Amino acid sequence: MSQPVIVARDLVKRYGDFAAVDGISFEVAPGESFGLLGPNGAGKSTTMRMVGAVSTRTAGDLAILGLDPDRFGPEIRSQLGVVPQADNLDTELRVRENLLVYGRYFGLPRKLVAERADELLAFAQLEDKGKAKVDSLSGGMKRRLTIARALVNDPRVLLLDEPTTGLDPQARHILWDRLFRLKEQGTTLLLTTHYMDEAEQLCDRLVVVDKGKIMAEGTPAALIRRYSSREVLEVRFGSDRNADVADQLAGIGDRLEVLPDRILVYSENGEAELERITSAGLHPLTSLVRRSSLEDVFLRLTGRSLIE
Amino acid sequence: MSDVTHRDLAPASLPLRPARSLYAGNARAVMFRGWRATRSTNWLVMVSGFFEPIFYLLAMGIGLGTLVGDVTTESGQVVPYAAFIAPALLAVAAMNGAIYDSTWNVFFKMQFARLYEGMLSTSLGPLDVALGEILLALLRGALYAVGFQLVMQALGLNLSWWALLALPAVLLIAFGFASLGMAITSYMKTFQQMDWINFVMLPMFLFSATFYPITVYPQWLQVVIQALPLWHGVELVRGLTTGAVDWGMLWHVLYYAVMIAVGLVFTTKRLRALFLD
Would you state the torsion angle of the CA atoms of residues A80, A83, A84, A90, taken in this order, to the nearest 10 degrees? 100
Residues of B in contact with A15 (CB under 8 A): none
Structure confidence at residue B12 as a pLDDT band (50, 70, 90): very low
Residues of B in contact with A66 (CB under 8 A): 5-6, 9-10
Checking if the pLDDT of B236 tops 90, the result is yes
User: How many contacts does A have with B, using Cβ atoms within 8 A?
Assistant: 113
| Low-confidence stretches of chain A (pLDDT beneath 70) | 1, 304-308
Q: What is the pLDDT of residues B177-197, one digit of tens each?
A: 999 999 999 999 999 999 998
- Cα gap A215→A38, rounded to integer Å: 9
- Whether residue A74 and residue B123 make contact (CB cut-off 8 A), yes or no, is yes
Search chain B and give the residue with CA nearest A7: B4
Instruction: State the smallest CA–CA distance between residue A105 and chain B in angstroms.
Output: 5
Residues of B in contact with A74 (CB under 8 A): 20-21, 24, 123-125
Structure confidence at residue B5 as a pLDDT band (50, 70, 90): very low
B218 in Cβ contact with B225 (< 8 Å): no
Of residues A4, A59, A68, the one with CA closest to residue B16:
A68
B88 three-state secondary structure: helix
For chain B, the average pLDDT equals: 88
Search chain A and give the residue with CA nearest B275: A54
B159 in Cβ contact with B243 (< 8 Å): yes
- Cα gap A24→A8, rounded to integer Å: 7
- Whether residue B33 and residue A55 make contact (CB cut-off 8 A), yes or no, is no
Instruction: State the smallest CA–CA distance between residue B9 and chain A in angstroms.
Output: 6
- pLDDT for the residue numbered B74: 78
- Cβ neighbours for A88, distance < 8 A, ≥ 6 positions apart: A146, B113, B114, B115, B117, B118
Interface pTM, i.e. ipTM: 0.85
Domains observed in chain A: 6-219 (3.40.50.300), 229-292 (3.30.70)
Q: For chain B, positions 110-129, list CB contacts with chain A under 8 A.
A: 113-115, 117-125
Angle between helix B126-154 and B27-37 (nearest 10): 50
The more confidently predicted of residues B20 and B205 is B205
Q: What is the pLDDT of residues A147-198, one digit of tens each?
A: 999 999 999 999 999 998 888 899 899 999 999 999 999 899 999 988 888 8
Find the chain A residues whose C-beta atoms sit closer than 8 A to any C-beta of B. 3, 7, 9-10, 25, 52, 54-56, 61-63, 66-68, 71-75, 77-78, 80, 82, 84, 86, 88-94, 97, 100-102, 104-107, 153
- Cβ neighbours for A244, distance < 8 A, ≥ 6 positions apart: none
Instruction: Choose the weakest-confidence range: A173-182, B72-81, B160-169, B253-262.
Output: B72-81
